[in-house]
Structure 1
Amino acid sequence: MRLTMAMAAVAIFTVPFVILLVLVRTSSTPLTSLDESIALSLHAHALENPGYTAFLNVATEVFGPWTWRVLVVLTAVWLWRRGAPRLAIWAVATITFGGLLNLAVKGIVDRARPDLPNPVAWAPGASFPSGHAMGAALGVCILVLILLPFLRSPASRIAVWAVAAVIMVFVAYSRVALGVHWTSDVIAGVALGIVVVVGAAAGFETWRRGEGRRPAEPHMEGVEPEAFREGHSG
């Protein structure tokens, strides 16, 4: 049942990504119109509020893909030293695969970024899906799944997931508000990042059960809850 639910979660986030991918590839008029309308509205607000725009320019890079990569790698080093090498490898492999997948999809779709008058920010490469949005989704989800075993109460676990959601939404919003991505880019980026993490967590859970370990609920207990209850000390 738990694995079935995990696969259902993968499907739930895969569907919007696939729909957006098809609509972008076919240059859907309704999607294009919606993307352009939102982009122009947020761009006008950015031009009217230079201080807020400057804040977004800094914040979007603070929460950029390399921040999450460094944090995940540093966490993996800590996990390895604590005697949890499998979890360390899982974390690095997941964020690495996610990053490579983002580049592959960008290359295939090759969507142009917004071309707005008086741009307030600039970004290289193709637009779909957003690397920042996907990087945030990958990073926060991986780190939360590692952190969960240390949280004892359901309320604290829900709070951590809520913070993760706020970060993902903020990063996605910042990319559109700065005019470097379309709304569909960031939604697709978040969805694809979550798909990668959920799929990787489900794969790890299947391996755990193959090793004879008790079934776990990764979204509440973490990917490898026993790693922090077995006296690992590195």
Structure 2
Amino acid sequence: MHSLQLPPRTRAPALITGLVCASLSLVLLVLVAVRWSPLMSLDTTVAEALHRRAVAEPGLVRVSRVLTDWVWDPWTMRVLTAAVVVTLWWRGSRLLAGWVAATCLLTALVQQGLKAAVGRERPRWPDPVDSAQYAAFPSGHAMTAAVTCGLLVWLLRLYGAQPPLWWGSLVLAVVSVTGVALTRVYLGVHWLSDVLGGVLLGGAIASLSAAGYIRYTGRARLQARGEVRRL
């Protein structure tokens, strides 16, 4: 990949995406907190239908557990992000490395804070195919995957990745985020609104982080140019 070359004007799509995701996630958070009846009914209907299928499909359950526990597990995503941060630091992009690390730390804090504040119980089954601990909303798997994949796609764009690589990474990111969301509901450890909330929150954090970085570095460049001209 080449050096940073994303023009300042590309901040707008990231900012708009972040604000839309943040707004939708706030609406969903309120609906979950007040236990809005239509949403609770939808969650129950989807969860029950998928659980019946999971009980009847042990082979697919095993595949789903491997994907959710290893490939798309939050710790797998964190290790991947840590590797990216180290690489950026080693390449001399220390501000960007710190920015990515801080974004991931913020994600973990927001996730755990919301789980504690909402305190939503996970689905309970007489014949569970998987188990998970702590509160349900938002899904940590979905939120972490959305932030990690969003940041990685943005970084490839930031470093001028060729279109085939960038589009390929975008498709892989969409598949991964969608996949982890589906497996969590399919395995009966989350409600549909949990994973939707995780995806929206993750998308908001990743997009707003990207927009913030572009704005910050753009202003720094303008200030540096001003100083040079005064000299």
Same fold (TM over 0.5): yes
Q: Counterpart in 2 of 1:143?
A: 152
- Report Cα offsets for 1:159-217 as digits up to 9, x if no partner: 3212101100000000000000000000000100010111111111111111226xxxx
Gaps of 5+ in 1: 214-234
For the residue of structure 2 that corresponds to 1:212, the secondary structure is helix
**How far is 1:4 from its partner?**
4.0
For the residue of structure 2 that corresponds to 1:53, the secondary structure is helix
Q: Does 1:192 align with 2:201?
A: yes
Q: Counterpart in 2 of 1:115?
A: 124
Of the three residues 17, 22, 47, the one matched with 1:14 is 22
Separation in 1 of the partners of 2:15 and 2:44?
34
Q: Counterpart in 2 of 1:106?
A: 115
Separation in 2 of the partners of 1:165 and 1:106?
24
Of the three residues 44, 56, 61, the one matched with 1:36 is 44
Q: Counterpart in 2 of 1:180?
A: 189
For the residue of structure 1 that corresponds to 2:124, the secondary structure is coil
Question: What's the TM-score, normalizing by structure 1?
Answer: 0.86
Identity value in percent: 37
Check the 8 A contact 2:151/2:210 in 1, yes or no.
no
Q: Counterpart in 2 of 1:204?
A: 213
Check the 8 A contact 2:12/2:211 in 1, yes or no.
no
Q: Counterpart in 1 of 2:174?
A: 165
Q: Following superposition of structure 1 onto structure 2, how do residues 118-133 of structure 1 map, counting pairs within 5 Å?
A: 118-133=127-142
Separation in 2 of the partners of 1:202 and 1:141?
12
Aligned AA (2:97)? A
Q: Does 1:24 align with 2:32?
A: yes
Separation in 1 of the partners of 2:126 and 2:47?
11
**How far is 1:19 from its partner?**
1.6
Q: Are the structure 2 counterparts of residues 74 and 2 from structure 1 closer, same or farther at C-alpha, using a change threshold of 3 Å?
A: closer
Q: Are the structure 2 counterparts of residues 66 and 9 from structure 1 closer, same or farther at C-alpha, using a change threshold of 3 Å?
A: same
**How far is 1:133 from its partner?**
0.3
**How far is 1:2 from its partner?**
4.2
Q: Counterpart in 1 of 2:55?
A: 47
Structure with the bigger RCO (C-alpha within 8 Å, sep 6+) is 2
Runs of 4 or more consecutive aligned structure 1 residues displaced over 6 Å after TM superposition: none
Separation in 1 of the partners of 2:83 and 2:14?
27
Aligned AA (2:104)? I
Aligned AA (2:162)? R
Question: What's the TM-score, normalizing by structure 2?
Answer: 0.87
Q: CA RMSD in A?
A: 1.4
For the residue of structure 1 that corresponds to 2:221, the secondary structure is coil
Separation in 2 of the partners of 1:116 and 1:177?
13
Q: Counterpart in 2 of 1:95?
A: 104
